[in-house]
Amino acid sequence: MAKVTYTSSRGKVFNLLDFDSAKLEKADFHKYTWDKDVTSRKFGEIVNRFTKSAKTFDCTFKFRGTKAQRKALIDALHFETEYDITHQQVGRLTWGNDYIECYMITSDTYPDGNGSAYTINTATFYAPYPFWIEEQKIEIFPTDNSFLDDDAKGYEPSVGRYGYTYSYAQGNDSLFIEVDHYADCNFKLIAYGAAPSVSITIDNDVHEVDYPLRANQYMVIDSRQNTPLDRQCYVVSESGIITNVFDYRNPRYELFKQIPSGNMILRYPRTYGIQLTIYKERSEPR
């Protein structure tokens, strides 16, 4: 069975399938509905588009242990979910490799009726953005640091492994990537300085920002619609100062154009490192 967890906005993780203390009895994670926008005709309808409303999940948890243990577990879960609500900081439900961001908006706690051996907690989770997401991460290291200043040498991006395989194309400035999905995908691109500017081409779509990065600075380009405006294209300095650089984008190209599915070539100079996160959205977790 897939691992199921809830992670609060403060990073507290609750294992919802920990059979030693808590068990997720039932949940409608795999239930979804598309809304239709139609124009009536004499016979039938014309479909203009499909949309999706915010999503809710009804869940039932069974807690066991001593009365004090059960109370402590439930109190801890409710403390974190109430913190998320009062601070409007979203938590995250995870099923296997997929997650959805949500709040717990209703709760009802009561004994199971069989000698109070268990405590039942029914809850509703509310997801403002109604898609489950699987992340595909690609990390690319620089191959040529010849133009960098001495204080920029020794660059090391975040430690990690490639989640998906790829192979180099004929030139050192390009590589093949594969996005195994049925739709175009949002993305987050992080470029690590030093770099005179940032320009990445994916499947002939150019994402370009003419803003220089010094050593130990990095630039973030985030295409997701629910990202705050001042966090869609920005630079973070070594001291943590954030500068909005959206106005430095190349207006000839669509900076936030989604990444298509399938096989394609990613091109860029390879004089700096990048980390590309591709968000594959679906109506239900796999």
pLDDT at site 150? 33
**Residue 170, pLDDT score:** 39
* Chain-centroid distance, C-alpha 37: 28
pLDDT, one tens digit per residue, over 179-200 is 999 999 999 999 999 999 999 9
- The list of the chain residues with pLDDT below 70 reads 1, 19-20, 114-115, 144-172
Q: Report the phi/psi class of residue 97: left, alpha or beta, with left for phi > 0 and alpha for psi in -120 to 50.
A: alpha
Q: Which two tokens stand for residue 30?
A: 């795999």
Number of CB atoms found within 10 A of residue 174's CB = 14
CATH domain 4-130 topology: Elongation Factor Tu (Ef-tu); domain 3 (2.40.30)
Pairing relationship of beta strands 118-127 and 98-111 according to DSSP bridges: antiparallel
- Both tokens of residue 54? 């915010």
* Fold matches, 4-130 and 133-282: no
- Max Cα separation, the chain? 74
Which among 126, 56, 62 has a CA at the least distance from the CA of 88?
A: 126
Q: What is the pLDDT of residue 152?
A: 33
Q: What pairs with residue 40 in β-bridges?
A: 45
Torsion of CA 62, 65, 66, 72, to 10 degrees: -70
Residue labelled with tokens 């995908």: 185
Class (C level, CATH) for 133-282: mainly beta
Residue ranges per structural domain of the chain:
4-130, 133-282
Looking at residue 19, its pLDDT comes to: 60
